[in-house]
Amino acid sequence: MALTRIILGAPLGALRPRDQGTDMVTILGIDPGLAILGFGAIACPTVSGGEGAGAIARQMPIEPLDYGIIQTPAHTPLGDRLCTLYGDLNDLLDAIAPDLVALEKLFFYRMGNTIAVAQARGVTLLAIAQRQLPLVEFTPAQVKQALTGHGNAPKADVQAAVARELALDHLPKPDDAADALAVAIAAWFST
């Protein structure tokens, strides 16, 4: 019996065909959690060249590749949930093959939840480190600042910014996947 399910926003690469004439970098954003881990993958254009190349690339459209969640059920032993999370993360990393991973830093609001998220975050960091993938981390306030210009922006403003930046005609769902896409976009803006 599988302990988890991956709910995909769309099949990998089915959201929009990649522009074959542009070099792209794939960024995987992760919103860590034990019960629900959000992920969002984006393809970002790269422009080789001299000074200002990064600014030129950031003016080109970002393409959503995939987004969704990895979910583990409550009332399942912690070790089993962490093993499932680790296995599904490795499957996700294989499928997406990111050039960069962006991870949301821990946000303390309830001690019991913080410990579970920290454990899931540790498993996530292990899977990333074993593949020697470049990693950047952002606090929730840094993500909000990058996408909206305000570090205390409401979630609805961040989700609207995600939809705008990715030229989506809808807000990405579930919220954990939208948060992961926001983390990936913040990483793109910071490069």
Q: Is the pLDDT of residue 4 over 70?
A: no
- Tens digit of each residue's pLDDT (9 = 90 or more) over 45-95: 876 555 544 554 556 789 999 999 999 999 999 999 999 999 999 999 999
In this predicted structure, what is the pLDDT of residue 63? 92
CA atoms lying within 13 Å on the CB side of residue 83 = 7
- Tens digit of each residue's pLDDT (9 = 90 or more) over 132-176: 999 999 999 999 999 999 999 999 999 999 999 999 999 999 999
In this predicted structure, what is the pLDDT of residue 86? 97
Active-site annotation, residues: 31, 104, 176
Domains of the chain (ranges, CATH numbers): 5-190 (3.30.420.10)
